[in-house]
């Protein structure tokens, strides 16, 4: 049987991020090197499912049918770049803040629905963010200084007023992943 690399995610409105993303890229250029995420692929990941048999896709869609590909109102802002491990950072992301908490409700629904059909529950709390770079090398001192610089930043991108949960296939290619909504 054929396998598909799948995750549940919510894409970001293309018009919201470019200025903030460009500024972060320019600021962090001297501190990090790695692979920047293509703007058209910017998203919030709810759950990475991994390699899934094609025959399971219908069951996943059915379990998530109450929310999948349906708009949900939100008030989401994007601002501070950060990393989960500032001592050994591997991923640079932009934080996402939803004043309505709709993204958290959507994520909880995903978790409950997928656990019911046999997927493992996440062992870490959900932290909405947009991965913007997978880092290969980091000047940790310069990186930490830049993260601290942005902590006092008031400017935010947004708001995004609607979010959709999508089942997304990730096709890996030498030039980067190609995402397809299933």
Which are the catalytic amino acids?
43, 129
Distances (CA, A) of 93 to 43, 96, 100, 113, 132: 11, 9, 21, 27, 5
Q: Give the tokens for residue 151.
A: 């902590």
Sign of CA dihedral 124, 125, 126, 131: negative
Q: Is 102 in contact with 163 (CB distance < 8 Å)?
A: yes
Give the SS3 label for residue 13: coil
Distances (CA, A) of 158 to 77, 97, 115, 144, 150: 5, 10, 32, 25, 17
Q: Is 128 in contact with 43 (CB distance < 8 Å)?
A: no
**Residue 87: how many other CB atoms lie within 10 Å:** 7
């Amino acid at each position: 049987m054929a396998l598909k690399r799948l995750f549940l995610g919510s894409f970001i409105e293309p018009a919201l991020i470019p200025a903030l993303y460009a500024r972060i890229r320019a600021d962090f250029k001297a501190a990090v090197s790695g692979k920047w995420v293509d703007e058209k692929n910017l998203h919030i990941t709810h759950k990475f499912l991994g390699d899934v048999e094609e025959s399971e896709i219908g069951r996943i869609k059915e379990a998530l049918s109450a929310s999948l590909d349906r708009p949900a109102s939100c008030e989401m802002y994007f601002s501070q770049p950060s990393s989960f491990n500032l001592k050994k950072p591997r991923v640079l992301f932009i934080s996402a803040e939803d004043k309505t908490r709709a993204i958290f409700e959507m994520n909880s629904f995903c978790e409950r629905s997928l656990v019911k059909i046999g997927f493992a529950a996440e062992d870490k709390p959900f932290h909405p963010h947009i991965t913007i770079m997978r880092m290969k090398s980091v000047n940790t001192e310069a990186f930490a200084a830049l993260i601290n610089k942005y902590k006092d930043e008031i400017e935010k991108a947004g708001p995004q007023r609607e979010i959709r949960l999508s089942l997304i296939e990730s096709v890996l290619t030498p030039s980067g992943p190609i995402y397809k909504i299933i």
